[in-house]
Amino acid sequence: MATVVKTQRPEDFLALVPQLAGFRPRNSIIIVAFRGNRTCAAMRFNVPDADAGAGYSTVAGRLIGILCKVRGADAVVPVVYTDDRFADCRGIPHAGFVRAVVDRARTAGFLVRDALCVAEDGWGSYLDQDCPRDGRPLAAIESSSVNGAIPRELRNDLGPVDAGSELPTVDLATRERVARLVKGLHEYVRAQRDPDVADVADPAMVDPGLIEPELFEPEAIAREPDDDGWDDDGWEDGDNEQDDLFDDDAYGDDSDGAYGDESYDDAGDADDDMPRSGWLPGFAEDALQLPPDAIDDRAAAVLILCLQSPMMRDVVMLQWAFGLEVGELALDENKRFLAGEDPAAFLVAPLMWGDGPRPDVPRVRAAIVLVKALAARAPRSMRPPLLCQLAWFNWALGKSSLAGRFVGEAERIDANFGLAELLRAMLEAGHLPEWAFAIPDDAGTR
């Protein structure tokens, strides 16, 4: 059911905007769209530099172009948040830019209900000819009754736009233990490789016998790690846990065609030595159902290693966002692609670019928590695929600014990481998923 909070005055509306946006805006313009008398979207954009001048109309056109994609939207209120001051600007800041936004919105057929500014020393309306030159007091926003009208259970804990980009704190001993486990798994898989297929770039093909299925029930994933010492390979001396994870003949001859002639271009850090992925959807699904701190280090190491493969990374990402059936379909379509089938008729790939139904939001949020925990435990060189997953999940939720932070972190580790480059291009082009503009089932208005 939609939550309705009525605002009678501009200062009441300004008290509501951060809740609509989900963060405390700063040096931004928030375009609040209306469907009738109710808000239906709140989109954040950077405020152009004051010297942009002649470029204001172009920037405003792009913003309103995105607004035009919000289905059913018929009115708008742009709100600028700035560190500038009324006193320093001798009037309301960014007036030229907002004038361009208002003109473009009206030309596109939108009703402009108001256009507001929250500056360092006051607030005001660009459409109010009687707005004081020094602005109106910010205390009117802070004391608005709207601040108490939103039910506590629906109220967002507000932070800066990039709040949520921090990874959990993990102690050094855990990080070193996981690094040794990843190294041990990686070397074990390499030892099992058939030398005849050593040049295949991504052997992530369906092979249900690779991992003992009973080891990947939730109880097994969540069991406590051993407290004894670890040898240099990440496994205890005399322990054969590798053989519990990987079947002895999982990397036997290629007579069944499990490894085709096609190679897969890995733009990340993954080597050629990667477990096959027939078991992966079920394992990933079990991991998503558990609290991240309940997943032991060995299971975390398996996920971290597997997500280095571009195919596995994308399959798991889509599965965590849309459900197990999508993960299994993505795995099948990737297998068919590597076998040479034309991908034009594939159903899953368009989801990567935001073309399709809205993902399952609770699953996406759970995946963000899980992948953050994995990234915090992972060796730094293995973090880019995980950081790019976090970027995509946040982009899928409409949080492009936060997505950009994760892309930037991935690029700081590997400046040429392929998925990071692709996501950066999408974000810089202002590309949003189509489901961001759809009307939710419950009308989702406030």
Given a cut of 60, whether residue 195 has pLDDT beyond it is no
Q: Which of 5-19, 260-274, 326-340, 395-409 has the lowest mean pLDDT?
A: 260-274
pLDDT of 196 > 90? The answer is: no
d(CA 306, CA 327): 14
Q: Where residue 40 sits, what CATH number does that domain have?
A: 3.40.140.10
The answer to whether residues 180 and 31 belong to one domain is: no
Q: What is the pLDDT of residue 375?
A: 96
Q: Let me know whether 235 and 276 are in one domain.
A: yes
Residue 300 lies in a domain: yes
SS3 118: strand
Residue 165 lies in a domain: no
Q: What pLDDT is recorded for position 446? A: 44
Q: Which of 154, 186, 207 is the last residue of a domain?
A: 154
82: domain range? 10-154
Rounded to an integer, the average pLDDT of 419-445 is 79
Q: What is the pLDDT of residue 52?
A: 63
Q: How far is CA 238 from the centre of its chain?
A: 42
Closest C-alpha to 370, from 355, 356, 389: 389
Cα(311)–Cα(339) distance, rounded to whole angstroms?
Answer: 14
Domain match, 81 and 134 both: yes
Residue 131 has pLDDT above 50, yes or no: yes
Give me the mean pLDDT over the 234-241 stretch: 33
Residues 258 and 404 in one domain: yes
Of the three residues 102, 122, 154, the one that is the final residue of a domain is 154
Q: Is the dihedral of CA 266, 267, 273, 279 positive or negative?
A: negative
Q: Which helix (H) or strand (E) holds 231?
A: none
- State in Å, rounded, how far the first CA of the chain is from the last one: 10
Q: What CA–CA distances, in Å, run from 101 to 13, 79, 157?
A: 19, 11, 30
**How far apart are the C-alpha atoms of 415 and 421, rounded to whole Å?**
8
Residue percentage of the chain with pLDDT more than 90: 43
pLDDT in the model for residue 136: 94
pLDDT band at 436 (very low <50, low <70, confident <90, very high): confident
Alpha helices in 120-192 (DSSP H): 139-142, 146-149, 172-192
pLDDT of residue 254: 31
Residues 182 and 118 in one domain: no
Is the confidence at residue 103, as pLDDT, over 60?
Answer: yes
- Host H or E run for residue 124: strand 123-125
| pLDDT, greater one: 244 or 75 | 75
Q: What angle, 0 to 180 degrees and rounded to 10, lies between the N-to-C axes of helices 56-67 and 95-107? A: 50
**Residue 446 covered by a domain:** no
Measured in whole angstroms, the distance separating CA 67 from the mean position of its chain's CA atoms is: 21
Examine residue 443 and state whether it is found in any structural domain, yes or no. no
Binning pLDDT at 50, 70 and 90, where does residue 85 land? very high
pLDDT at 274 over 50: no
What CA–CA distance (Å, rounded) separates 372 from 63? 31
Give the pLDDT band of residue 282 (cuts 50, 70, 90).
confident
Same domain, 86 and 208: no
Helices of type H across 323-360: 324-338, 349-352
User: What is the number of domains present in the chain?
Assistant: 2
Structure token pair of residue 354: 């935001």
CA angle 418, 421, 427 (to 5 degrees): 140
Do 203 and 95 share a structural domain? no
pLDDT for 3 beyond 60 = yes
In this structure, of 30-44, 50-64, 73-87, 360-374, the range with the lowest mean pLDDT score is: 50-64
Q: Read off the DSSP letter of residue 136.
A: B
pLDDT tier for residue 165 given thresholds of 50, 70 and 90: confident
State mean pLDDT over 368-380: 95
Same domain, 321 and 415: yes
Beta strand 38-46 pairing with 111-112 = unpaired
Together in a domain, 278 and 405 = yes
In this prediction the pTM is: 0.73
**Are 46 and 190 in the same domain?**
no
Q: What is the spatial distance between Cα 445 and Cα 4, in angstroms, rounded to a whole number?
A: 7
pLDDT at 145: 83
Contact predicate 110/67, CB 8 Å:
yes
Q: Check pLDDT > 50 for residue 298.
A: yes
**Over residues 2-11, mean pLDDT:** 76
Write the CA distances from 336 to 329, 333, 408, integer angstroms: 10, 5, 33
Specify if 442 maps to a domain.
no
Write phi, then psi, for 72 (nearest 5 degrees).
85, -5
Question: Among 22, 29, 295, 60, which residue's Cα sits nearest to residue 160?
Answer: 22
Q: Strand, coil or helix: what is 121?
A: coil
Residue 93 lies in a domain: yes
Asked whether residue 71 carries a pLDDT value surpassing 50, the answer given is yes
Give the pLDDT confidence score for residue 48 in this predicted structure: 87
Q: In this structure, are 82 and 188 located in the same domain?
A: no
Q: What mean pLDDT is reported for the chain? A: 78
Same domain for 124 and 179? no
What average pLDDT does the segment 204-208 reach?
33
